[in-house]
Amino acid sequence: MTAVIQTEKLTKFYGRHRGIVDVDLEVAEGEAFGFLGPNGAGKTTMIRTLLNHIRPTSGRATVFGIDTTVDPVAIHRRLGYLPGEFVLYDKLTGGQTIEYFANLQGGVDSAYQADLIARLDLDPSRKFREYSKGNKQKVGLVVALQHRPELLLLDEPTSGLDPLVQQTFYGVIREAKAEGRTIFMSSHILSEVEKTCDRVAIIRDGRLAKVDRVEALRDLAHHQVELRFAGPVPAAEFEGLAGVSDVVVEDHTLRMRVSGPITPIVLAAARHEVVDFVSREPTLEETFLAEYGQGAGEVA
């Protein structure tokens, strides 16, 4: 399958500050690709380099086989972009903003544009400055999607959207994927990536730590369990249980990481007076970082 995005030793430094370092990545045509990493890891730098908004310090990136620094306009003609944070024209309404971007794209299918506005439940008659964060995000999504681009670059696309609109967004993304379009999105939400992506990359300290298929996530699934006891913490009883690791005691609270079934923990806890029991599924990022966080791993 043809690679839509390809980077070779892609590196960007802002003066002495690190952006991304030696990133080798390939995203195939029609693939939905998740890009994960903590704040400041280099996610936005990566996306902005692909757009040629910033120029690589070394290495190279191609999109649709075109070097990003050689003909960015040809690339932009075929992509849709939603930044993590963006500002648009306060004096224009949402509808006028969408129309302006449609003009800059050289025209769009007005029926599809109207359909997107309706599905995202956006009131296009209000001034952009009057919108809430979520509604501004909707305008950004329509702008990114309305010209049916072959590649979608989405930075935290569901940030600020309510759950219902998030579902609509996932639907739109699924349709785009079904139509063979490529999606490259950064996210912090496990369920979002599970619903939309085929593969996931983890970036940490500017370097690619891991690239794997989403199915691999499920094998890594674990829980963060926190027990608060009325009396002293019987830590030893839990340390020996299968799948338990990273046990930490603080006052009357016991924290641990549990891989596999949680039943043995519940049974052991039942033998004591437990004031509180919290079991939390970690984020995808935590899962990956816990597994691959110690230095850069191999890239699949």
Partner 1 sequence: MTADIQPARTISITTTSLASRLYGLGSLSAKTLRDSRRAMLLLGGFLALIWLISGASMATAFGTPAARQEAVELTRTLPALFLGLYGGDATNVDTLGGLANWRYGLVFFVFPAFWSILALSGTLVGEVRRGSMDLLAASGLTRTRVALEKVGAHVAAMAIVMLAIALFAWLVGQVFYTLPGDHIALEASLAYALAMGLTALAGGAIAFALAPFIGRGGAAGIGAAVMFSGWIVNGFRDTIPAFESLAPLSWYTWTAGHRPIAGNWDWPSMLPVAVLVVAGIAVGIAAFIRRDLGDIGSLRTPSQPTAVLGISGPLGRSFGERLPDALGWGVGLGVYSAVVGASADSLRESLTGNEAIQGLFAAAFPGFNLNEPGVALQLMFVGFGMLAIGLAAAAIVHGWSSDESDGRLEMLLATPQDRFRWMIRSGLGVFAALAVVTLVVALAVALGVGLSGENPLTPIVGTVALALFALAVGGIGMAIGGLVRPSLAGPAAALVVVVTFLVDILVPALQLPEEVRQLALTAHFGEPMLGTWDPVGIVLALALAFGGLAIGALGFARRDLGD
The residues of the shown chain that bind partner 1, judged by CB under 8 A, are 48, 51, 53-55, 73-74, 76-77, 79-83, 85-89, 91-92, 96, 99-101, 103-106, 140, 143, 153, 233, 235-236, 239, 244-245, 247-250, 254
Minimum CB–partner distance for residue 74 and partner 1 (Å): 8
Copy the structure tokens of residue 21.
Answer: 């370092």
Minimum CB–partner distance for residue 263 and partner 1 (Å): 20
User: Considering beta carbons, is residue 144 or 200 the nearer one to partner 1?
Assistant: 144
User: Considering beta carbons, is residue 122 or 200 the nearer one to partner 1?
Assistant: 122
User: Considering beta carbons, is residue 161 or 214 the nearer one to partner 1?
Assistant: 161
Minimum CB–partner distance for residue 243 and partner 1 (Å): 11
Minimum CB–partner distance for residue 76 and partner 1 (Å): 5
Minimum CB–partner distance for residue 187 and partner 1 (Å): 19
Distance between CA atoms of 110 and 238, rounded to whole angstroms? 61
User: Considering beta carbons, is residue 73 or 164 the nearer one to partner 1?
Assistant: 73
User: Considering beta carbons, is residue 27 or 244 the nearer one to partner 1?
Assistant: 244
Closest CA to 192 of 220, 171, 221: 171
User: Considering beta carbons, is residue 78 or 195 the nearer one to partner 1?
Assistant: 78
Minimum CB–partner distance for residue 175 and partner 1 (Å): 21
